[in-house]
Amino acid sequence: MKRKIKILFKMPMIIVFIIILLFFTPFAIYSPGENRNRGVVTALGIDRVEDEYEISLLTFIPTANQSYQEKSSVISGKGSSVAEAIYNAQIAMGRSVGLAHAKTTVVNEKLLEEDVAASIDYLSRVASLPENTVFVCTNKTAKEMLENSQDLVNDLGLKLEQVIGYNANNLYVTDTSLEAFYKGYFSPTKSSLIGYLTIEDEENKSNENSEISSPQNSGSDQNQGTQSSGGSGATNGNPSHIVNQGQAVLLKSGKKVAVLNIDQLNGINILNPKSVNQIITVDGIEKNGQTISLQYKIKTKKTLVSSKFENGYPIYIAQLVLGVELVEVDGVEDSLKVNTEFSEVTKEIAEKIELQIKRQFTDSINILRECNTDVLGIARQFFFHNRKEFMKFLDGIGGEEAVDKFIDYVTFKLNMVVQPD
């Protein structure tokens, strides 16, 4: 034994190891579980209520159960700043807030009337909030949005970030994460785009193109073919629903300047090769003496963008090759319905599709021009490829400060080839 102790003392690291074990083991055994002290926040909502901020936390509190169902609840706190409101929400929850799993941040529209970056400053400083958290705006309160999202999860297993994630992948030029917002916010043109989900009361839902609603109160919805799930989170007592119409909010210096609808977003995205599946309706096609309308879907898209200065003026040229597929015939032309292989794009059809897309694109550019925003990165394209001329041109229109007005002077040339996919 004595010899063994001597050997032990010859190896001081073993003694250090034993001391560490002796010191920390009791702590580890007697310390309470982390879930007793910390609430896991999966979504965060910020509202401006009069002069105060109201923070709503969609919180998952881990508890033992046999149903494997996550139990979440919305806990809110108010304060003169976001930090204070979160502190008060912590007190209400009886746990400290863990933001590392927060995948969605919702703000209400009112907050976007002023520079929203000031309101979310706390979130950008708190490093534990992941930057890939989806940043969404809603027409009502963020609290209502989170309450409704709970029903979505319970009834459909659909999470808010998944709903907006579809838009991010298919509709928006960039994704709508907090990071993407900051990228736009700190860019020279200070323009960004964030997702927009609306909450509609039961009474108003018939006006909407698409919604996500609940089975328990939507028997008729199923007959209409809409996706069904829950919604009862309205604070005014009426059942309400989250409606995703693929809209987005255009921001300039963190302030809302426009809400873009799906057509306008499609127009902005026309140069985005990732954005496909858009439906184009071609009306007034004459076939065997009858007038029909055809619905085409954009299946593939190839884009080639270039820029140059001509006579000192910027020209933005985009070559677009669209692969389209006929997906629906609206009319009484039987041969087309029978011959499903009819996907040939005639010259007339191609011209009409081209015209429609160009119109959409022009509308979107006009909005961007009106709002002095550049979410397409037009100025960056010129800076990157024609730097000397670009800087000279900027000097002529008022220096670097006027970079957001640059888009007004750009001539867009859209060359398109429409072909069957």
C-beta of 15 vs 417, nearer to other proteins: 15
Tokens of 341: 């292989």
C-beta of 17 vs 313, nearer to other proteins: 17
Binding site for other proteins (CB under 8 A): 13, 16-17, 20, 98, 100, 103, 124, 127-128, 130-132, 134, 161-162, 165, 168-169, 174-177, 179, 182-183, 186-187, 380, 383-384
CA 147/CA 100 separation, integer angstroms: 20
C-beta of 182 vs 342, nearer to other proteins: 182
C-beta of 169 vs 288, nearer to other proteins: 169
Q: Provide, rounded to whole angstroms, the least separation between the CB of residue 403 and other proteins.
A: 13
Q: Provide, rounded to whole angstroms, the least separation between the CB of residue 382 and other proteins.
A: 12
C-beta of 131 vs 202, nearer to other proteins: 131
Q: Provide, rounded to whole angstroms, the least separation between the CB of residue 98 and other proteins.
A: 7
Q: Provide, rounded to whole angstroms, the least separation between the CB of residue 290 and other proteins.
A: 46
Q: Provide, rounded to whole angstroms, the least separation between the CB of residue 172 and other proteins.
A: 10
Q: Provide, rounded to whole angstroms, the least separation between the CB of residue 90 and other proteins.
A: 13
CA 135/CA 249 separation, integer angstroms: 11
C-beta of 38 vs 405, nearer to other proteins: 38
Q: Provide, rounded to whole angstroms, the least separation between the CB of residue 7 and other proteins.
A: 17
Q: Provide, rounded to whole angstroms, the least separation between the CB of residue 131 and other proteins.
A: 5
C-beta of 116 vs 294, nearer to other proteins: 116
Could you tell me the maximum CA-CA distance found in the chain, to the nearest angstrom?
110
Neighbour tally for 327: CB within 10 Å = 13
C-beta of 132 vs 290, nearer to other proteins: 132
C-beta of 303 vs 356, nearer to other proteins: 303
Q: Provide, rounded to whole angstroms, the least separation between the CB of residue 292 and other proteins.
A: 40
Structural contact between residues 233 and 240, judged by C-beta atoms closer than 8 angstroms: yes
C-beta of 45 vs 165, nearer to other proteins: 165
- Give the 3-state DSSP-derived string for the chain, with helices as H, strands as E and coil as C: CHHHHHHHHHCHHHHHHHHHHHHHHHHHHHCCCHHHHEEEEEEEEEEEECCEEEEEEEEECCCCCCCCCCCEEEEEEEECCHHHHHHHHHHHHCCEEECCCCCEEEEEHHHHHCCHHHHCHHHHHCCCCCCCCEEEEECCCHHHHHHHHHHHHHHHCCCHHHHHHHHHHHCCCCCCEHHHHHHHHCCCCCEEEEEEEEEEEHHHHHHCCCCEECHHHCHHHHHHCCCECCCCCCCCCCCEEEEEEEEEEEEECCEEEEEECHHHHHHHHHHCCCCCCCEEEEEEEEECCEEEEEEEEEEEEEEEEEEEEECCEEEEEEEEEEEEEEEEEECCCHHHHHCCCCCCCCHHHHHHHHHHHHHHHHHHHHHHHHCCCCCCCHHHHHHHHCHHHHHHHHHHHCCHHHHHHHHHHCEEEEEEEEEEC
CA 352/CA 216 separation, integer angstroms: 44
Q: Provide, rounded to whole angstroms, the least separation between the CB of residue 29 and other proteins.
A: 16
